[in-house]
Amino acid sequence: MDQLVQTGCCAGSIEQRADQRQTCDAPIEWACFNASDHFHGRMIDVSAQGGCVESDQAVIPGAAVLVRLMSSDGSGTDRTIQSLLLAEVKWCRPLPLESSWLYRFGVKCFEYL
């Protein structure tokens, strides 16, 4: 099942997802579960079980996060929630200084019963 990732957020690393990634560029807001502070970022790819996020805020692996995928009306000011994910942070790494964001982290969605 493990294979070398050629593109996407983890290029050059060993792929550990069971499902294929789909690239995207979606604005998000996220917060640690049950916390009032929220942060902005981008969802850069998704799969059936999780996704990869870029943000200016680091997060501790193992943390439960609520990720809100947002959409805009085009004005740049009015954003509405399109989807919600409750997920566990699996890893978090700093990005190179020339990147748009400071950190990249992977999330795995919690399974609902």
- Look-up of token digits 């916390």: 35
Identify whether 97 is part of a domain. Answer: yes
Identify whether 52 is part of a domain. Answer: yes
Identify whether 36 is part of a domain. Answer: yes
Range of the domain at 38: 24-109
For residues 66 and 86, the answer to whether their CB atoms sit within 8 Å is yes
Our count of domains for the chain comes to: 1
Identify whether 66 is part of a domain. Answer: yes
pLDDT of amino acid 84 = 86
Domain CATH code at residue 37: 2.40.10.220
pLDDT of amino acid 6 = 43
Identify whether 3 is part of a domain. Answer: no
pLDDT digits (tens, 9 = 90+) for 74-86: 555 556 667 888 9
How many CA atoms within 13 Å lie on the side-chain side of 100?
A: 9
pLDDT of amino acid 71 = 74
Q: What is the pTM of this model?
A: 0.77
For residue 59, CA distances in Å to 24, 35, 71, 103, 107 come to: 21, 13, 23, 9, 11
Per-residue confidence at 91, pLDDT binned at 50, 70, 90? very high
Identify whether 17 is part of a domain. Answer: no
Identify whether 78 is part of a domain. Answer: yes
